Structure 1
């Protein structure tokens, strides 16, 4: 069970709980147990103990356990319930199989109040119940829902206060030349001294950076530099391999000048750190520089000259289409569009686009390069030929409570008439009354027969949208085709002389459009309003909150609520398989489609490469509309 060891006593307790569970009636509510731990230590409550407590909790509630979602080493702050590996699968794909979600404590389930409110609304939409064993939380009642909101609001405030304390520590670090917090950038390390921890130069790493500087000044590319340092066995900062990306992140960090740097609030990963200045207006010097100001500026200029291509074009549009769909036939890596430039003697610049394997920036696999537009056209045309006539199907959640109630009502009425028509019954008197009772019984039986037993259960229903994928993609373009192919797990493997379109056996079920409830809700809900509701609920139940809570959680309206509630009496407030080209053996378990490579098959000749897929041009609508695509940092 997820590499978690059960002792003999725990196994006996588990068996006893399962026996008690087997005595529950067949129509008992179905419970899903949610177990989560960020890090398993001796101090944390083990997954085994959580499961046993929750199984006992389920039996006491009269619920039958239908599944256990074990998400270990998963952070509740970073990963909401619907994105966790096991619990997310139950929520998104297996919702008809359970009625209640039981968890040990609220912090084992969620840590963010916005996540909690989304789960509450999801439970309302899908008629589910949330309940905790160790917290007074049960969405069967309005009071339980209020308690959930209040507790999560308090947890959110505590997390925010932790962030405030950390920010205060960073502010202090800006005023001193000692090393207070953070991890040094590559090239530096820290050591303890008589007046505290200091930043010092790491001799070996400095030599590596000085060598890289010399190579850049000699015109060597980042790819060539990373190749050499990897072959020399020099580990990257994380102990792995060097790539252009992680090397660029180091070389663009002003901390290499031996000064304190900070990151602006809400900075993105690609944003460059800024130099921190002291009260005298000068950079805060922490250690001797590895690069002087002039050398650092020269490195930035060289990096800008080398930056000739990227994943996104300058206008924000995606450069590489069908990323994750087109695969290299040699090493199975993604194929990227790369654009190199060449300046002509007349001053103009010519672009040379090519589609190449991503391994080119690491250890090249030797695969050839291709013309991107031709390859995109072949892929689109082959997909339309194989999948274009499939209907677009949407999945919807259907609740069976209404039909179940009607079936129960019909069964009771039928029993009433059958008892009355039995010898000695109230309808067994002959004449008009008995005939009317028989007629009513027949009508009730006919109506009961028309109700599908499956419609009395919560279930997924599948509805055709009345369009084919050919029409769907013609309207929405390449971006939608790429999303659908990725969702279906379809890949287009490019070999030197042919291509394979690999289509899973269950492609129709994979192509079904499944609405993402949480994504839609996140786009329409204001997290600030949620925080306000949580704090107000906490106040209205007599909890003492300080008016010095982080101001970014408290808007003007909430401040007014806080002031009003503070003036009230706390006592009063508490009252209340795959396509095969024939040129290579298909993967095991794969199905062979019509696409075959035989001597008589049409081929596409391009240079010295032969492709099984003919170069039919896709509709313009398919290829002409690609979609447009805080705190401090240690030195």
Structure 2
């Protein structure tokens, strides 16, 4: 079976070949663009949720097994599935094979090597070498084991260290006292740095804050400035190519106008108004298509509430996600805070 992003076809010589599947390539490109967005990149989990919400077929869902179909179940996009797909060199058009992993019970997909020691390319690559290296570097930076934290950090991607712009995590110190165990929670900068050949966490300026004071300050500063502003959600829109339809209209119009000459199809008093209506409709459609955006883009959709209303009704994970997607950052210094808001929200 061809890898996701490719499809088999039969050439004029009767031999089967591989080529890119335009729809699937667009989905792959969309995922990568959202992962590598410079302002507010999304996580694989967030992208998977959005793809599932719009019923985008998964790599397995494009060719479901009879057992799955009969059971009524559906394949779902997952963060792990997206990472696995983007790490596969099949996206570069190489011929792949499955090999057992030594000492394991599973297989891995690797490129086939010919007798000369070179990989065999079966189709045009979806990514250039530079794009592939950047993507793999991004995925490698975020390859780590995640354990369930006992101290969940609120607003993890919103509250940042003002000096190094690194994340601030909730750290809880526990001490045994005569009256029992006491906890001392603090928000701390956790940016890694090398000290004497060993890794230490926290930048040199080592910012730390009491959680209660920090969260109250975030709420007060943000709502004071933007509480009455309408809250919006940023969504990724896959662009459409209107050139084909515009070329069709350009070809239709001269034909219709020629048919309006006396003795032709629309050359009578009865048929001419019908032709004029057709021309008006085609002209309006052409004008609309010429002004419509074509490339992939981010758009903002109103949530029908102000930020203050949303703050009171939304759950914390939803509020965190919305603020992060809007590019909101709350920078912490030893004696002060700084609220960073993108220019778009300031309008």
Q: TM-score, normalised by structure 1?
A: 0.30
Instruction: Judging by fraction of residues, say which structure has more helix.
Output: 1
For normalisation by structure 2, the TM-score amounts to 0.50
Where is the strand percentage greater, Structure 1 or Structure 2? 2
Larger CA Rg, structure 1 vs 2:
1
